[in-house]
Amino acid sequence: MHGACPGRGSERTRCADLARRGARRHEPRARPPRPLSIVDIAPAPEQSPSRHAAICTLTIADSGRDDPLGDAVSRRMAWRGAFVSSPDDDAALRTIAAGRDDVVCIRERAAIAEIATWGDQAEISFLRRDAHRRELLHWMRLSRRHPRYARDGLNREALAMSAAEALGAGIVLGSIFRALDRLGLAAMLVSERAKTASAAGLVLLFRPKHEDALVSGRHFYRLWLAIARAGFSACPMSALADAPDVNARLCALARVDDGRRLVNVFRVGRPQTTKAVSHARLPVADLIV
């Protein structure tokens, strides 16, 4: 309870009175809570057909120390706009991959520009699937009048879009997409090549091929925290990992062995704006069944 003195509940009033008089209590101070961490992830042996089924067991225990990435949790954000360069970029990128064998940082401008083109090719291949576009539009909150604008999904702030850009995105990705694509305009209108080319670097995460997806996901999240700790914002470029041909090209470029797979790619850098970006998040109570 905020403002309550430590000790038994019946003593709280007396404690408060003594504190107001300036008296000192000689009781030992309450110890701050020790940090907890996930020390083990055990995937469920079998998947249940039930709608709500356990997929893993997390073992949470006293870690005995603060997590070095803990302070980065509140700074982690997806920035989908362009980046500005800084003289500190190269040094910051080196800290992300330091001591890790599962991370590759690409800093060469020519390589970043080429991968930016690959990213556009991969993205348009998915957008040409009607179901993919429908799901994307379902989660996009392109108008402040949307009833879930500040609750979940991708609102304009999260997408780094102006009102006009958001209006245009809804039109382009909607019913006229196929017509625009036939005219050769769709790829140009949805291109993110310039944004990717403005990045300080690209960060690739490779994990063992047969590693459980939950474990790989944890490494993905912690890498994102490491990126935030280095002073960068990031945007996952999932299409690069999900498109088999582009995935293979990146694996060859990074010269990873056959026992590893590309989990995801981040474009990282410093946002063009210093304005705080708000992201819609569901309340924790809504996530607990």
230-258 pLDDT per residue, tens: 999 999 999 999 999 999 999 999 999 89
Closest CA to 240 of 223, 229, 254, 230: 254
157-185 pLDDT per residue, tens: 888 899 999 999 999 999 999 999 999 99
Task: Please give the C-alpha separations between residue 239 and each of 87, 95, 121, 166, 177, in angstroms, as whole numbers.
Answer: 30, 26, 9, 21, 19
Chain centroid, CA 33 distance in Å: 28
Q: What is the mean pLDDT of residues 173-198?
A: 97
pTM of the model: 0.80
Closest CA to 204 of 229, 245, 242, 240: 240
Decide which of 3.40.190.10, 3.30.70.1050, 3.10.20.30, 3.40.109.10 is the CATH code for 73-272: 3.40.109.10
State which amino acid sits at residue 219. H
33-77 pLDDT per residue, tens: 666 777 788 887 776 677 777 788 888 888 777 788 888 888 888
Residue 268: strand, helix, or coil:
strand
Q: How confident is the model at residue 225 (pLDDT cuts 50, 70, 90)?
A: very high
Q: How confident is the model at residue 15 (pLDDT cuts 50, 70, 90)?
A: very low
